[in-house]
Chains A and B, each alone.
Chain A
Amino acid sequence: MTEKTETKDETVATSRRRFLTGSLAAGGAAMAAGLATAGPAAAQGESVITEIQDWNRYLGDGVVSQPYGVPSRYEANVVRRDVEWLTASRESSVSFTPLHELDGIITPNGLCFERHHAGIAEIEPSQHRLMINGLVDTPLVFTMQDLMRFPRENHVYFLECAANSGMEWRGAQLNGCQYTHGMVHCVVYTGVKLKHLLGEAGVKTNAKWILPEGADSAAMTRSIPLEKALDDCLVAFKMNGEALRPEQGYPVRLVVPGWEGNMWVKWLRRLEVGDQPWHQREETSKYTDLLANGKARRFTWVMDVKSVITSPSPQAPIRHGRGRAVISGLAWSGNGKIKRVDVSIDGGRNWTTARLDGPSLDKALHRFYLDIDWDGSELLLQSRAIDEAGFVQPTKNELRAARGENSIYHNNGIQTWYVKADGTVENVEVS
């Protein structure tokens, strides 16, 4: 065991030295960026090609060296991050998905942003129960095993925190789409239609609302109209094929497609059926949207049409110089599918329709690309999504004109990235 470790350390040291040597040969700029691109080789050729590398010669680790695999050590910067000054405690706080490093539409489980109100409840599945009570014929208790015996469905949905981009209402604050837009993730959920569970208890004819409740010490509760509950809500126990992560509600959470993340109650332990909303803390004090006139909207459930360019972005500058460049981004809408995404490189003066790529699914993230030739001049990048209901993503100034700057939630305004001649990128507001 000791011997193996030593061998491994030596290998790491050797490959690091060769990596540095090779990079220097390829040019200092590429090394500084940590990302080599194939440029003109010296007459003798690049050492990564002309010399036999460690991984060409020696055996790598065997199977199950990682019983649960983890990303390459060279991807160590692809992690959730938080902003400490945002909240008073880490147990009622948020972390952000590194959108700038991801592609496609599915978020890896370990990178899905977190939002807890009382930390991560650690629940042994055999000790978990789901109760249905209230206006039902037979109040019921289910075990996890019971839930696994209902007919299952699989659906891909985005989950966006109502406060995503909330720090940007007053203007450009945080430099990076991880921070400005990273309270969103999108996974495949496996679960049971909520209507099957409610049907099992027998919903009474005067029922109009349900109240899901979490088992953590915040005992999160939200009022949801019965119509939505019977439509597409799921009680999910798997994400991306495996059990929910503890931070995502293990062993079971509510899935409320297209609606604000707060309603997706984690560690779900109870569903009450009633004839009126309950006006709980999370739908009065929080998750209500204050307008400039002092009134506040409540029950703002749907997450409106939205998009963001994930690369280039402040954390993902252009390092390859001028020439071909890929503009990559995400678009989504709680109203359904994304119909179109337009991209501007001049701050919204002119727009080009981007290419949607990959699956286009109801209330899921959509990936778009625009392939450009960058002449090295400054850009003001924007994306503008249109959903299948016909709603067009507004500018931040349009939102502010309608709502003021104190709504906190539901900021789906168009994001601008300022790409400078050196390829670095900043979060800006434009006129």
Chain B
Amino acid sequence: PTHGVFHLGRAATADEIAAWDIDVRPDGVGLPEGRGTAADGEVLFTERCASCHGDFGEGAGRWPVLAGGRDTLKADRPEKTIGSYWPYLSTVYDYVRRAMPFGDARSLSDDEVYAITAYLLYLNDVVTDDSFELSRENFTSVKLPNEENFIADDRSAEPHYAGKVEPCMKDCKAEVKITMRARVLDVTPEAGKENEG
């Protein structure tokens, strides 16, 4: 091979790239041909997804909640779902296609992923008609509610970092009180408690 400096590796074939390169961007780059309705998605979701995520995306047991939680992001216990938190629909399509169902990844066809994505929009009230059909053509016209609420990393501007101030060494506080004890909560596994007196 003539590529590069070390001349290691070989050229990837188009089929190989197509087999592995399945990522989808917010601008729709990477979307495959295909389509599916929310109604079709409901059937698939009930069959393939609901045992963990609940019939309506509400989550069974400790499994992730996929729908609901709108306007809870400032609440004491926010519920972060596709509808309440995720910025881009592309992530839904991409992630379901690459990694779901849990334990049987890559088993859904491209049309099935469109249908399930459409149903997830329906469960989250982003679309209200279950005959809504999602396709490569109309995909990027759908916006998720929380897209605008993501900001850049500005940690270094936080007060405790910004000044890089030499910290106090002596007589820094008048008094110190214990305000909370993990032992009271008592949720540590037994192996973590074995050495306690």
Q: Which residues of A contact B (CB under 8 A)?
A: 77, 81-85, 87-89, 91-92, 117-118, 131-134, 137-143, 146, 149-150, 171-176, 178-179, 196, 199-202, 211, 213, 217-219, 221, 269-270, 272, 274, 276, 278-281, 284-285, 288, 290, 292-302, 304, 314-317, 342, 346-351, 380, 384, 386, 389-392, 394-395, 398-399, 401-403, 406, 410, 418, 422-424, 426-431
Contacts and interface: CB of A to CB of B under 8 A. Distances in A.
Q: Shortest 10 CB-CB distances between A and B: which pairs?
A: A347-B176, A200-B4, A390-B164, A88-B62, A394-B160, A427-B182, A429-B180, A424-B197, A172-B182, A139-B12
Given A201-B4, A391-B156, A424-B197, 17 more contacts: A118-B105, A132-B12, A142-B8, A146-B8, A175-B193, A221-B23, A221-B98, A269-B20, A279-B91, A280-B23, A281-B99, A284-B87, A285-B86, A294-B149, A314-B182, A410-B155, A426-B183
A174 B188 contact: yes
A426 B182 CA distance: 7
Contacts of B94: 278, 280-281
A427 B181 contact: yes
Contacts of B156: 391
Contact of B177 (A133, A173, A384, A430): A430
Given A270-B21, A284-B87, A428-B182, A317 B196 contact: yes
A52 B194 CA distance: 32
Contacts of A81: 189, 191-192
B161 A297 contact: no
A366 B143 CA distance: 46
A110 to B, nearest CB: 17
A201 B5 CA distance: 9
Interface in B165-197: 165, 167-173, 175-183, 185, 187-189, 191-197
Contacts of A350: 169-172
A196 B27 contact: no
A389 B162 CA distance: 11
B73 A294 contact: yes
Contacts of A347: 173, 176
Contact of B172 (A84, A117, A349): A349
B92 to A, nearest CB: 8
Contact of B178 (A141, A279, A401, A428): A428
A386 B160 CA distance: 12
Given A87-B62, A391-B161, A149 B6 contact: yes
B86 to A, nearest CB: 6
A430 B178 contact: yes
Given A173-B187, A294-B74, A392 B165 contact: yes
Given A200-B9, A219-B99, A398-B159, A349 B173 contact: yes
A386 B63 CA distance: 39
Given A88-B63, A279-B26, A422 B8 contact: no
Interface in B62-90: 62-64, 73-74, 78, 80, 82, 85-88, 90
Contacts of B52: 88
B169 to A, nearest CB: 5
B105 A171 contact: no
A401 to B, nearest CB: 8
Given A296-B151, A428-B182, A118 B99 contact: yes
Nearest to B184: A172
Contacts of A137: 3
B89 to A, nearest CB: 10
Contacts of A118: 99, 102-103, 105
Interface in B120-166: 149-156, 158-161, 164-165
A208 to B, nearest CB: 13
